[in-house]
Amino acid sequence: MYALLDDASDTTFVTTQVQRELGSEGVETSLDLSTMLGRERITVERIDGLVVQRLDKGTEVELPKAYARQSIPSRRDQIPRPKTVNSWLHLKKIQDKIPPYDKNVEIGLLIGCNCPKAIKPTEVIRAKSLTQFAPC
């Protein structure tokens, strides 16, 4: 599954489909969900003990409590692809570290800032100048 890292969210969510596939039992609870569109109280299942692993199995991260939702609002065009670096010349050196895009893989996890181990960058690659950016 694809996982979104969202430092603007303070909560971690998993889709109910992923919850079913994992066979994870949850505890029903209410959650106040605040977005730019407003605030609402939703009924969700809290899931404890989830662990996420990088595609290459290089790193495991224990997730904080997560909440199951039917879907995770997202845009598939924001999933990085190897060709993404064509617009960001200073990122060419990591092009081979970006896995190929798979349209059949679902977005099943949103990791919020309540999991700093997953959100914190391991490296920041800064452009040296505006000339390192390809024209839009």
Count structural domains, the chain.
1
pLDDT score recorded for residue 130: 59
Residue 35 is part of a domain; what is its CATH number?
2.40.70
The boundaries of the domain holding residue 69 are 2-132
Q: Is the pTM of this model over 0.75?
A: yes
- Would you state the pLDDT for residue 116? 92
pLDDT at 89: 83
pLDDT of residue 132: 52
Q: What is the pLDDT of residues 98-114, one digit of tens each?
A: 999 999 999 999 999 99
* 61: Cβ contacts below 8 Å, ≥ 6 apart: 51, 52, 53, 115, 117, 118
* pLDDT attached to residue 135: 52
**CB-CB contact of 33 with 86 (8 Å):** no
80 with 87: CB under 8 angstroms? no
Specify the 3-state DSSP secondary structure of 5: strand
| pLDDT tens track for 39-61 | 999 999 999 999 999 888 888 99
Residues of the chain with pLDDT under 70: 129-136
